[in-house]
Amino acid sequence: MGEVVTYYAVTLGGKPAGVARRRSLADGGIEDEMLRHDLTWQQDSLITEWKRGDATEELAEVSGEEAEALIQRFREKWCSLTQDPKVTRGTRVHPAG
């Protein structure tokens, strides 16, 4: 079996705060990641903390398509906050990538 990715919409105080994903790897391992403001995925413990009840953020599982729409929304928001030339409007981020 290949890699399986589960996406989560992250909210804080009822407002969208980010996107997280859990990658269940083919070798049986698990990697939890959070989308950063530079639109890269980096390891993060939020999903584990949320499952234990230790997170202040709320998570809701979403489809890959819903995750992509959220990523697009955050790109629009975060691009206006960064001067990084690698992060440009209209550049598509694939949730699985």
The answer to whether residue 26 is domain-embedded is yes
Indicate the number of domains in the chain: 1
With residue 42 as reference, give the H or E element that holds it.
Answer: strand 41-43
The answer to whether residue 90 is domain-embedded is no
Give me the residues of the chain with pLDDT under 70, please.
1, 80-97
The answer to whether residue 87 is domain-embedded is no
Which pLDDT score, from 0 to 100, does residue 83 have?
A: 52
Give per-residue pLDDT as tens, 41-65: 999 999 999 999 999 999 999 999 9
The answer to whether residue 93 is domain-embedded is no
- Distance, CA of 54 to CA of 43 (rounded, Å): 17
Which of 75, 74, 73 shows the shortest CA–CA distance to 87? 75
Would the pTM of this model clear 0.85, i.e. be above it?
Answer: no
The answer to whether residue 86 is domain-embedded is no
The answer to whether residue 85 is domain-embedded is no
Domain carrying residue 43:
4-79
The answer to whether residue 27 is domain-embedded is yes
